[in-house]
């Protein structure tokens, strides 16, 4: 029944996959062990949030959501560049990028 409703409403048609993307990313970021995959999940969340914004922007014919998406993409690119550098460096120093082995810090 929900599925039918989603296909009829054009806003929900975009909003539903956006929130699914966000939820997938959140679950992955919480439960995955590999840092690269966790990082990709964070980017997935970013995509989901951005898609939600674009869904509203196209539904109401407002251009600012689309423009803002470009800014967010720039931010995401900077974050990815720094994040991947840190993860690569951790692999060089520690020899692993699994969160299971991250135990340098603590009591």
Partner 1 sequence: MELQNISFDWGSVASEAVLFLCAVIAIVLSAFSRKESSIVQIFAMFGIVAALFVEILCPTIGSGETYFGEMLTGASSFGCFVLVCALLTGLMGFGYFAKGGKRGGEFMAVLMICTAAMMLFVRANNLMFAFIALECATVCLYIMAAWNRERASSLEAAVKYLVVSGVSGCLFLLGIAFIYGAGLATSRELLYFENFTAGMGNGLFMTGFALVVSAVLFKVAAFPFQFWSPDVYQGAPTPVSAFFAVASKAAGIVFIGKIFTFIDFSGGGMFDISENIVFTISVISAATILVGNLGAITQINVKRLMGFSGIANAGYLLVAVAALIKMGSMAFFELTLYFYLAAYMFANYGLFFVVNQFQGDDDSDQTFADYRGMSRKSSLLESSLVINLASLAGIPPTAGFFGKLLILIMAWYAQLYWLMGVMVFGSVVSIYYYFGWMRASLDFADGGERPLRETGALAPTLYALSASTLFFGVIVFFLVRL
Whole-number Å distance between alpha carbons of 10 and 55: 9
Least Å from the CB of residue 3 to partner 1: 22
Based on CB atoms, which residue is closest to partner 1, 5 or 37? 37
Q: CB within 8 A of 55, min separation 6: which ones? A: 11, 14, 15, 18
What is the separation of C-alpha 20 from the centre of its chain, rounded to a whole number of angstroms?
A: 11
Cα dihedral sign, 96-97-100-106 = positive
Among positions 10, 66, 82, 98, the unique one binding partner 1 when judged by CB under 8 A: 82
Site residues (vs partner 1, CB under 8 A): 22, 25-26, 29, 35, 38-39, 42, 45-46, 48-50, 52-53, 55-57, 59-60, 62, 64-65, 68, 71-72, 75, 78-79, 82-83, 85-87, 89-90, 93-94, 102, 104-107
């Amino acid at each position: 029944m929900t599925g039918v409703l989603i296909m009829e409403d054009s806003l929900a048609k975009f909003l539903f996959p956006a929130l699914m993307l966000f939820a997938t990313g959140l679950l992955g970021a919480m439960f995955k062990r590999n840092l690269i995959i966790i990082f990709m999940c964070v980017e997935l969340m970013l995509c989901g949030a951005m898609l939600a914004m674009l869904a509203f922007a196209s539904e109401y014919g407002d251009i600012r959501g689309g423009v803002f998406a470009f800014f967010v993409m720039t931010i995401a690119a900077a974050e990815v560049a720094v994040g991947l550098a840190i993860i690569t460096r951790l692999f060089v120093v520690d020899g692993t990028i699994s969160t299971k082995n991250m135990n340098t810090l603590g009591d």
